[in-house]
C-alpha cells in the first residue's frame, strides 16, 4: 500500500487542479522522541501538510519553509520541504493548559511566513501574512488567497499516526467551463475524512470522493523524512567558533553540548573530543 505521497490531479473539464498528500511513516519519524501533546501534534501536522502541498508545486532546486510564529503558548511551528520532497519540522510551545477555545487562542497574534530558497543561486523569496482566522486551516487559506491569487479550498487532518491534506485551486476561466463546477467539487471535497485518506490508495480515494468528475491523475511522488545526524557539520561549527571560546565553554560546563532542535539531535563533546577537533 502506498504511503507518504503527494498526488497531483486535474479536473480538465472544470478548470480545477488539486494535490493530495498523506504521510504516515515519515510523519511518525518526525514526531519520534518529541513528546508533543495532541494539540501540538495537530498544529504541526497541518503545517507539515501545507508545506508538502506547496513543495510539490515548486520547480528546480529549492526548499520551501513554512513557519508560524505566534504570541500565544504555541510560539513556533516550522516545516520545510525540498524539491525532492524530503521533509522535516518542529514546534516550540509553552505548557498548554485546558480551556483554550480554538487554535487562534493557542497561536495568538503573529505571522505566517512561507520562504522559497533557491539552492542554486542562494536567493530567498518570502511571503508574509498575519495570522487571520479562527483555525490554522483558515490562516493557511488566507495565505493562499493572498499569494496564489486563485480561489482555494484546503482540508487538513493530523493525529499521531498520519497527516493528510487536500488542496484545490480554481484556475482562470473555470466558470466559463462549468459555472457550478467549483461549488460542486468543494462540496464533495468537504466529505473527506482522515481515516479514509490514511487507509486508501490515492487513486481509489480520489475516484471515491469525486465519482462523477472526469479527472487526470499525474505521477505519484514519494515523500520522506530527512534530518540526518551530522556530527562533522557540528565539528566544523565549533572550529568556526575558535579554540579559545570552545575551551571556555568546556571549562565552565565540563562538556560542550550542541542541540539541533529541528532534527531533535543532541551532540556532546568531552575534553578529549574537543582536543581532537582542534588538533
C-alpha cell at 96: 498548554
C-alpha cell at 76: 513556533
Q: Which residues of 169-199 are buried (b: 16+ CB within 10 A; e: fewer)?
A: bbeeebeeebeebbebbbebbeebebeebbe
C-alpha cell at 255: 562538556
Residues 6+ apart with CB under 8 A from 190: 155
Query: Digits of tens for pLDDT over the chain (279 positions)?
Result: 668 999 999 999 999 999 999 999 999 999 999 999 999 999 999 999 999 999 988 776 689 999 999 998 999 999 999 989 999 999 999 876 665 668 888 899 999 999 998 878 888 889 999 998 889 999 998 898 888 788 999 999 999 999 999 999 999 999 999 999 999 999 999 998 877 888 888 999 999 999 999 999 999 999 999 998 888 888 889 898 888 888 888 888 888 888 888 898 888 998 888 889 888
Q: Which of 136, 193, 157 is nearest to 45 (CA)?
A: 157
Q: Which domains does the chain have, with CATH numbers?
A: 5-225 (3.55.30.10), 231-278 (3.90.1280.10)
C-alpha cell at 84: 525532492
Distance CA 279, CA 275 (A): 6
Structural contact between residues 42 and 50, judged by C-beta atoms closer than 8 angstroms: no
pTM value is: 0.90
Amino acid at each position: 500500500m502506498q504511503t507518504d505521497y503527494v498526488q497531483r490531479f486535474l479536473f480538465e473539464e472544470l478548470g480545477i487542479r488539486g494535490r493530495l498528500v498523506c504521510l504516515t511513516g515519515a510523519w511518525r519519524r518526525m514526531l519520534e522522541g518529541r513528546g508533543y501533546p495532541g494539540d501540538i501534534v495537530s498544529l504541526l501536522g497541518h503545517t507539515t501538510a501545507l508545506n508538502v502541498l506547496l513543495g510539490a508545486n515548486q520547480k528546480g532546486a529549492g526548499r520551501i519553509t513554512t513557519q508560524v510564529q505566534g504570541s500565544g503558548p504555541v510560539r513556533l511551528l516550522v516545516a520545510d520541504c525540498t524539491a525532492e520532497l524530503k521533509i522535516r519540522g518542529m514546534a516550540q510551545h509553552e505548557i498548554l493548559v485546558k480551556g483554550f477555545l480554538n487554535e487562534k487562542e493557542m497561536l495568538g497574534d503573529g505571522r505566517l511566513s512561507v520562504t522559497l530558497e533557491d539552492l542554486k543561486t542562494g536567493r530567498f523569496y518570502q511571503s508574509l501574512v498575519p495570522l487571520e482566522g479562527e483555525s490554522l486551516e483558515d490562516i493557511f487559506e488566507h495565505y493562499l488567497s493572498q499569494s496564489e491569487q486563485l480561489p482555494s479550498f484546503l482540508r487538513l487532518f493530523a493525529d499521531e499516526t498520519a497527516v493528510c491534506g487536500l488542496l484545490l485551486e480554481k484556475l482562470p476561466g473555470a466558470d466559463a467551463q462549468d459555472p457550478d463546477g467549483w461549488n460542486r467539487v468543494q462540496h464533495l471535497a468537504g466529505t473527506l475524512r482522515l481515516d479514509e485518506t490514511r487507509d486508501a490508495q490515492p487513486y481509489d480515494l480520489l475516484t471515491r470522493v469525486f465519482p462523477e468528475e472526469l479527472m487526470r491523475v499525474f505521477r505519484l511522488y514519494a515523500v520522506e523524512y530527512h534530518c540526518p545526524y551530522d556530527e562533522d557539520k557540528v565539528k566544523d561549527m565549533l572550529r568556526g567558533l575558535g579554540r579559545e571560546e570552545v575551551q571556555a565553554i568546556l571549562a565552565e560546563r565540563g562538556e560542550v553540548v550542541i542541540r539541533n532542535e529541528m532534527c531533535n539531535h543532541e551532540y556532546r563533546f568531552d575534553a578529549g573530543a574537543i582536543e581532537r577537533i582542534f588538533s
